[in-house]
Chains A and B, each alone.
Chain A
Amino acid sequence: MSIIEAKQLTKIFGSHPEQAMQFLKQGWTKERILKETRMTVGVNQASFSIEAGQIFVIMGLSGSGKSTLIRLLNRLIEPTSGQLLFEGRDIVQMSAKELRQFRRKKMGMVFQKFALFPHRTVLQNVEYGLEIQGIEKQARKEMAEQALQLVGLGGWENSYPDQLSGGMQQRVGLARGLANDPDILLMDEAFSALDPLIRKDMQDELLQLQSTMKKTIIFITHDLDEALRIGDKIALMKDGVIVQIGTPDEILIKPATPYVEKFIEDVDLSKVLTAAHVMRKPATITLERGPRVALQLMKEQGVSSLYVTDKGKKLLGVITAELASAALKENLSIGDILIKEVPTIDSATPINELFEPMAASSIPLAVTDDTNRLLGIVIRGAVFAALAGNAIPEAGGAN
Chain B
Amino acid sequence: MNNIPKLPLGNWIESLESWLENHFTPLFDFIRLIIGSIVDFLHHVLLFSPSILMILIITALAWFLGKWKVAAFALIGLLLIDNLGYWEHAMETLAIVLTASLLSIIIGVPTGILCARSSFLQGIITPLLDLMQTMPAFVYLLPAVSFFSLGVVPGVIASIIFAVPPTIRLTNLGIRQVPSELVEAADAFGSTPNQKLFKLQLPMALPTMMAGINQTIMLSLSMVVISSMIGAQGLGADVYRAVTQTKTGIGFEAGISIVVLAILLDRMSNHIVKKNKR
Interface residues of A, Cβ cutoff 8 Å to B:
74, 76, 99-104, 107-109, 111-113, 115-119, 128-129, 131-133, 160, 176, 180, 186
Contacts and interface: CB of A to CB of B under 8 A. Distances in A.
B190 A103 contact: yes
A303 to B, nearest CB: 60
A111 B187 CA distance: 12
B278 A109 contact: no
B141 to A, nearest CB: 42
B185 A100 contact: no
A332 to B, nearest CB: 73
B80 interface: no
Interface in B195-214: 195, 199-200, 203-204
Contacts of A109: 185, 188-189
A101 B190 contact: yes
Nearest to B181: A115
Given A111-B181, A115-B182, A160-B278, A74 B188 contact: yes
Given A104-B189, A109-B189, A76 B184 contact: yes
B190 A132 contact: yes
B204 A132 contact: no
B191 interface: yes
B189 A132 contact: yes
Contacts of B204: 117-119
15 contacts: A76-B187, A76-B188, A103-B189, A108-B189, A109-B188, A111-B184, A112-B181, A115-B179, A115-B181, A115-B184, A117-B182, A118-B204, A132-B189, A132-B199, A186-B188
Nearest to B185: A115
Interface string B253-271: 0000000000000000000
A133 B181 contact: no
Contacts of B192: 100, 132
Interface of B: 179, 181-182, 184-192, 195, 199-200, 203-204, 278
Contact of A119 (B181, B185, B191, B203): B203
A133 B199 CA distance: 13
Contacts of A108: 189
Given A100-B192, A132-B195, A160-B278, A117 B200 contact: yes
B189 A113 contact: no
Contacts of B181: 111-113, 115
6 shortest A-B CB distances, which residue pairs? A104-B190, A103-B190, A129-B189, A115-B185, A115-B181, A109-B188
A111 B190 contact: no
Contacts of A100: 190-192
Given A100-B190, A101-B190, A119-B204, A128 B199 contact: yes
A117 B191 CA distance: 14
Contacts of B184: 76, 111, 115
A102 B203 CA distance: 26
B80 to A, nearest CB: 40
A76 B185 CA distance: 9
B106 to A, nearest CB: 24
Contacts of B195: 132
Nearest to A103: B190
Given A115-B182, A117-B182, 19 more contacts: A100-B192, A101-B190, A103-B190, A104-B189, A104-B190, A108-B189, A113-B181, A115-B185, A117-B200, A117-B204, A118-B204, A119-B204, A128-B189, A128-B199, A132-B189, A132-B191, A132-B192, A132-B199, A180-B189
Nearest to B184: A76
Nearest to A125: B185
A100 B199 CA distance: 16
A162 to B, nearest CB: 11
Given A119-B278, A128-B199, A133 B190 contact: yes
Contact of B199 (A99, A101, A104, A131): A131
Contacts of B185: 109, 111, 115-117
A122 B184 CA distance: 18
B183 to A, nearest CB: 9
Contacts of A112: 181
Contacts of B188: 74, 76, 103, 107, 109, 186
A160 B277 CA distance: 13
Nearest to A105: B190
Nearest to B191: A132
Nearest to B203: A119
A99 B187 CA distance: 10
Chain A CB count within 10 A is highest, among B184, B187, B188, B278, for B188
Contacts of B203: 119
A133 B182 CA distance: 18
A176 B182 CA distance: 13
A210 B186 CA distance: 25
Contacts of B187: 76, 103
Nearest to A182: B189
A76 B190 CA distance: 10
A111 B192 CA distance: 20
A56 B184 CA distance: 22
Nearest to B276: A119
Contacts of A74: 188
A115 B191 CA distance: 15
A216 B192 CA distance: 25
Nearest to A112: B181
B210 to A, nearest CB: 14
Nearest to B277: A119
Nearest to B192: A100
B119 to A, nearest CB: 16
A112 B186 CA distance: 15
Nearest to B187: A76
A177 B192 CA distance: 18
Nearest to A121: B278
A103 B278 CA distance: 31
